[in-house]
Chains A and B, each alone.
Chain A
Amino acid sequence: MKIGRSTILIIFTLLAVGAGCAPVKPWQREHLADPIMQPDYRKEEKAVREHTISTREGSSGIFGVSGGGCGCN
């Protein structure tokens, strides 16, 4: 996988922006820790949905677990 210079520049810019953002203190993260805010909330359902959809669509999602279909050919 080749990472271009523009990609690296974007990454470092974002990191710099992140450093400059007003930090969120641990005691301010009550809502961020709520399950309904988690990216992997209900990940079992998302995994089933992604697996079912991926057998019917030509593009894969993001990042990898097992292959195989569901006999849905």
Chain B
Amino acid sequence: MTVLVVLSGVAASTTSAEDYGVAQTYIHSFSNNVSVYTGVFALNKDVSLETTTYFRYTVDFVNPSFSLFGEGGEGGEGGDREADSAKARAVAAVSSASAAAGTGASDVRNELMAGFTHQFGNAFGLEMYYDYSKESDYTSNTPIVTLKKDLFEKNTTLTLSFSENFDQVYGQFMSATEPRNTSNYYFGITQLLSPVDFFRIGYSGSRMSGFTSEGTRLVPISPATAADCTEVVPGSCVTENFPDFRLRNAYLINVNHYFEGGWMDRSSVQLGYRYYQDSWSIRSNTEEVEYYKYLGPQLLLGLNYRFYNQSQAYFVKDVYTASDTYYSASPQLEKFSSQLAGIMLSYTIPRMFSFATDGAIEGRYEYYTQTINTTGQTIMLGLRFRF
């Protein structure tokens, strides 16, 4: 599964506005008996006037035995899926089987990302990163290259990016490792509108080929039901099978505004909209808003809200027969909508560390809910230091 992050700065600068480091801990807990504990350490540092380096390490510990929603189960999806037993999502049976086989749903994912940005005078800026991620059933290698060009007294910035995912998938129900390659393209324009406004538009395209499913779910073939599907039985209980090719397109627009004066003085709002469509017939809309306000010289408040809705992939069905070519038990390919809301507080302490200008203690809480009966909560605690 591809993770996407925009790597572009505002208008003129291709390097971060500050040198900083962060150390964060996240606890994600979902209603389907999945919990993930995440640790992040990142460092952003100028090494010269033209060059900035960046390093980030992320580790995910998947611990399905713990859940904020009550007793943990065997892990993976399960819980209140009894009403869906007639459907293709044989997830409860899969979870039990995987636990009985000793594989379980526990896992550890490690990710390393490192790179640099360099400004070649007034000509253009170059960003190069490499990202490596590994867990028990998935390995990913991704080089990323970005070019930026400032125009019109640096009021306009053109961004062109390319990355390639070289992934290896080896889910628990797969007999061999399968490759998956994804080419990603991005083009964006950032435009300053005033001393307190700018907007950004962008297009992202993606071409995925190879093994596009995960190899971790089983699908019952009628007349078998989800309850019957505990192991691979040819013609009766099969692994997911998706099309081996997927084209994706996304279009976004963002507007950022800084407020001066009044009760909203020293605050900003970031509005974003993204439209997505792909060759599997999934269409989605994402609307996001972030609001940040300095409550004092040391206290920063952040609020965020996200609404998302999508259609389902064309090959998703409630019941599959032997005549079907593609099989899915993945909830993320169904039709649903979701909402996410969060709050963040950051408290700055001058000279918190001897090696830093100042440091900040930060906390964030987010609540996530889907219309297909999944909810989740995230708590983050972290330290941020500037130097």
Contacts and interface: CB of A to CB of B under 8 A. Distances in A.
Main secondary structure of the interface of B (DSSP, over half): strand
A39 B22 CA distance: 18
Q: How large is the interface on B (under 10, 10 to 19, 20 to 34, 35 or more residues)?
A: 35 or more
A46 B5 contact: yes
Given A32-B198, A37-B10, A64-B184, A50 B5 contact: yes
Interface of A: 1, 7, 11, 14-15, 17-19, 21-26, 28-73
Interface stretch (B80-88, B106-114, B228-236): B106-114
Q: Which of B62, B195, B276 has the most CB of A within 10 A?
A: B195
Contacts of B7: 40, 43, 63
B196 A50 contact: no
Interface in B17-53: 17-18, 22, 24, 26, 28, 30, 34, 36, 38, 40, 42
A48 B2 contact: no
B256 A37 contact: yes
Interface of B: 1-13, 16-18, 22, 24, 26, 28, 30, 34, 36, 38, 40, 42, 56, 58, 60, 62, 76-77, 105-107, 109, 111, 113, 129, 131-136, 138-142, 144, 151-156, 161, 163, 165, 167, 180, 182, 184-186, 189-196, 198, 200-206, 214, 216-217, 248, 250, 252, 254, 256, 258, 260, 267-268, 270, 274, 276, 278, 280, 282, 284, 286, 292, 294, 300, 302, 308, 310, 312-313, 331-334, 338, 340, 344, 364, 366, 368, 370, 374, 376, 378, 380
